[in-house]
Amino acid sequence: MATIDSRPAVFGDRLIITGSTSGSEAVDLSEMLSSIDGATVDAVGSAATVTKGIDGTTLNVGAACTFLVIGRR
């Protein structure tokens, strides 16, 4: 299950969300965002590529990671 920082940052009409996952999963951010503009994902304890993509307001990751997402509120 993803852990999302409870203190998102606001930048104009954008929201910046950070968090982490313990494994492969889909991180649903639909309660906070109307769309995702971009994301960075860094593997935790692995050299594997972890980004599987963005689908609407969902960030799909393939391994344990930390992430930063910028999207529209």
pLDDT tens for 26-39 read: 999 999 999 999 99
pLDDT digits (tens, 9 = 90+) for 47-64: 666 777 899 999 999 888
The pTM (predicted TM-score) of the whole model is 0.88
* Residues 1, 63: Cα–Cα separation, whole Å: 12
The answer, yes or no, to whether residue 10 has pLDDT greater than 70, is yes
- For the chain, the structural domain boundaries read 3-72
What is the sign of the dihedral through the CA atoms of 57, 7, 68 and 45?
Answer: negative
- What's the maximum distance between 2 C-alpha atoms anywhere in the chain? 35
What is the sign of the dihedral through the CA atoms of 59, 68, 4 and 24?
Answer: positive
Quick one: DSSP state of residue 32? T
Say if residues 61 and 52 touch (Cβ distance below 8 Å): yes
The answer, yes or no, to whether residue 46 has pLDDT greater than 80, is no
